[in-house]
């Protein structure tokens, strides 16, 4: 069993806090992605799990053993970096088997393990080539192969795809997912790219300023963000935010935006929000896909409003529209056939069934 547990883990570089006390439980066979903006502490966290950084305080447990004082080579982990650091003078086979040869694993077993990993990665044909005869994606696979042959307790990935071009990155993302489905090794993966995080992870850990903001499945984070930070970080284009106040009139609540636009709050949210009625320190959140063109079958809690479009971005299957709504820039996603045109007025539909209300001071989603 290869669970990884972090108890109140802290890392300070001299006086600067990089990781400020995080707790995290990673289950055996789980694929967990640490994601967050640059400098939030995700690489430091990964490097502490690997043993490449000392921890200032707290405890790290791998497979039931506290590893705080265990050197990296004895932690039974394998790390894949963004610069794959293959040995240029060695063949793919030699690169992949290097670690096993150092450990004096018998020759037959080495061959068997390398060939099995090569099959998983679909690089059996490349074992005699040198790294310079490989494409970027193939090199990435060899780097993964080197990790797989060691059959470690845990794989650690540090932004492994950031050197690849956009198309290859998407392709390798799928490859990594397939490999994990085959080998099922517990994996901790670091990226700043929320799409990569969402597509790969069983669970995503969103970090911000040295702390964990939220841990959840991709769908939990997307549909039920607990903070404004997570709401804004997960999803592209990002969730729209407009400062607002909440008003109550004859038992019903409504959102009032600074320029006078008003949206009714769905009746089933009344209980949840009522105690915030009268508050002016709130933020209204709505994802772009819940701002669409109007259509014939308008459902309850969908409210039409008129804007002047500033920019339109045709994406093929949809058109992104940008406009000002009471002082905030807002993005919507409309049907390409809806005739959206920059500079022109358009009637849009806000689907308030999917609205979020956020406390302006604490940043907590209500
Ligand atoms: P991320 O991987 O999320 O971009 P890091 O974990 O690399 O962030 O860094 C977290 C914080 O710690 C940043 O403020 C960074 O500047 C600082 N930091 C990272 N490594 C060092 C180091 N070796 N010495 C001093 N500060 C560091």
Ligand 1 proximity of 41 Cβ (cutoff 6 Å): yes
| Residue located nearest, by CA, to atom 5 of ligand 1 | 41
Q: Atom 10, ligand 1: which residue's CA is nearest? A: 41
Is 23 part of any domain?
yes
Q: Are residues 42 and 123 in the same domain?
A: yes
Residue 187 scores a pLDDT above 90 = yes
Question: Please, what sign has the CA dihedral across residues 124, 130, 134, 138?
Answer: positive
Task: Out of 68-72, 158-162, 204-208, give the one with best mean pLDDT.
Answer: 204-208
The reply to whether 326 and 208 lie within a common domain is no
| 25 and 137 inside one domain | yes
Query: Is 181 close to ligand 1, i.e. is its CB under 6 Å away?
Result: no
- Which pLDDT band, with edges at 50, 70 and 90, does 162 fall under? confident
- pLDDT at residue 326 in the model: 95
Closest by CA position to 97, among listed 145, 53, 56: 145
The reported pLDDT for the residue numbered 137 is 84
Same domain, 138 and 265: no
The CA-based angle 181-96-111, given to 5 degrees, is 90
Please tell me whether residues 221 and 336 are part of one structural domain: no
Confidence of residue 295 (pLDDT cuts 50, 70, 90): confident
Same domain (yes/no): 228, 110? yes
Is residue 133 in a domain? yes
- For residue 8, the CA-to-ligand 1 centroid distance in Å is 18
Q: Are 65 and 167 within one domain?
A: yes
For the chain, the domain total comes to 2
User: Which structural domain, as residue segments, surrounds residue 178?
Assistant: 4-233
pLDDT band with cut points at 50, 70 and 90 for residue 251? confident
- Residue 126 in any domain: the answer is yes
Are 319 and 336 a contacting pair, CB within 8 Å?
yes
Across the range 283-309, mean pLDDT stands at 94
Tokens matching residue 65: 């053993």
Is ligand 1 within 6 A of the CB of residue 205? no
* 260 and 203 together in one domain: no
Q: Distance from the CA of 215 to the center of ligand 1, in angstroms?
A: 21
Contact 185, 29 (CB under 8 A): yes
Q: For residue 206, what pLDDT is reported?
A: 98
Residue 41 belongs to a domain: yes
Mean pLDDT computed over 196-203: 95
Ligand 1 and 97: CB distance under 6 A: no
CATH code for position 348: 2.40.50.140
The reported pLDDT for the residue numbered 163 is 78
Note whether 108 and 184 are same-domain residues. yes
- Please give the number of the atom of ligand 1 that sits closest to the Cα of 14: 25
Last residue of a domain, one of 182, 204, 233: 233
Nearest CA residue ID for atom 8, ligand 1 = 39
Query: Cβ neighbours of residue 104 under 8 Å, at least 6 residues apart?
Result: none
Q: Note whether 222 and 263 are same-domain residues.
A: no
CATH code, 159: 3.40.50.300
Which of 6, 14, 15, 18, when mutated, tests ligand 1's pocket best, judged by the most ligand atoms within 8 Å of its CB?
Answer: 18
Residue 105 in domain = yes
pLDDT category at 172 given cuts 50, 70, 90 is: confident
Q: Name the domain boundary from 214, 233, 252.
A: 233
* 14 located within any domain: yes
CA of 286 to the centre of ligand 1 (A): 33
Q: Say whether both 38 and 75 belong to one domain.
A: yes
Residues 38-58 have pLDDT tens digits of 999 999 999 999 999 999 999
Phi, psi of 260 (to 5 degrees): 105, -10
Across all residues in the chain, what is the average pLDDT? 93
- Is it the case that residue 353 has pLDDT exceeding 80? yes
154-158 vs 186-191, strand pairing mode: parallel
Q: Which of 233, 252, 285 is the last residue of a domain?
A: 233
Residues 14 and 129 placed together within one structural domain of the fold: yes
Q: Does 365 reside within a domain? A: no
pLDDT at residue number 85: 80
pLDDT digits (tens, 9 = 90+) for 232-245: 999 999 999 999 99
Q: Report the run of H or E that residue 102 belongs to, with start and end.
A: helix 92-102
Q: For residue 320, how many other CB atoms are within 10 A of its CB?
A: 16
193 DSSP 8-state letter: -
pLDDT for 73 beyond 80: yes
Whether residue 62 is predicted with pLDDT greater than 80 in this model: the reply is yes
Assigned domain for 366 exists? no
Q: Is the CB of 297 under 6 A from ligand 1?
A: no
Statement: the pTM of the whole predicted model exceeds 0.85: yes
Report the largest interatomic distance among the alpha carbons of the chain, rounded to a whole angstrom. 81
């Amino acid at each position: 069993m290869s669970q990884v547990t972090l108890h109140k883990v802290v890392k300070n570089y001299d006086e600067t806090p990089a990781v400020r006390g995080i707790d995290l439980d990673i289950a055996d066979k789980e694929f967990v992605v640490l994601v967050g903006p640059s400098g939030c502490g995700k690489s430091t966290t990964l490097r502490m799990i690997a043993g490449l950084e000392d921890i200032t305080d707290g405890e790290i447990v791998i497979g039931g053993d506290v590893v705080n004082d265990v050197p990296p080579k004895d932690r039974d982990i394998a790390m894949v970096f963004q610069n794959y650091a293959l040995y240029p003078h060695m063949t793919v086979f030699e690169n992949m088997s290097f670690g096993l040869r150092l450990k004096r694993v018998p020759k037959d077993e080495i061959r068997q393990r390398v060939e099995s990993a090569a099959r998983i990665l679909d690089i059996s044909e490349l074992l005699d080539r040198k790294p310079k005869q490989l494409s970027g994606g193939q090199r990435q696979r060899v780097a993964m192969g080197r990790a797989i042959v060691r059959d470690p307790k845990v794989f650690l990935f540090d932004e492994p795809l950031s050197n690849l071009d956009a198309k290859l990155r998407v392709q390798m993302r799928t490859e990594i997912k397939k490999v994990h489905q085959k080998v099922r090794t517990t994996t901790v993966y670091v990226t700043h790219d929320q799409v990569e995080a969402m597509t790969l992870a069983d669970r995503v850990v969103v970090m911000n300023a040295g702390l964990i903001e939220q841990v959840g499945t991709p769908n939990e984070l997307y549909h039920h963000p607990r903070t404004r930070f997570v709401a804004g970080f997960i999803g592209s284009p990002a969730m729209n935010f407009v400062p607002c106040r909440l008003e109550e009139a004859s038992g019903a609540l409504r959102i009032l935006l600074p320029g006078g636009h008003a949206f009714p709050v769905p009746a089933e949210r009344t209980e949840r929000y009522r105690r915030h009625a009268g508050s002016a320190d709130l933020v209204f959140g709505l994802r772009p896909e819940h701002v669409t063109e109007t259509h014939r079958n308008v459902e309850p809690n969908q409210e039409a409003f008129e804007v002047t479009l500033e920019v339109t971005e045709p994406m093929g299957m949809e058109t992104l529209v940008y406009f000002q709504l009471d002082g905030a820039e807002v993005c919507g996603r409309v049907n390409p056939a809806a005739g959206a045109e920059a500079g022109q007025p358009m009637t849009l539909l806000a689907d308030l069934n999917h609205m979020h209300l956020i406390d302006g001071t604490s940043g907590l989603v209500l």
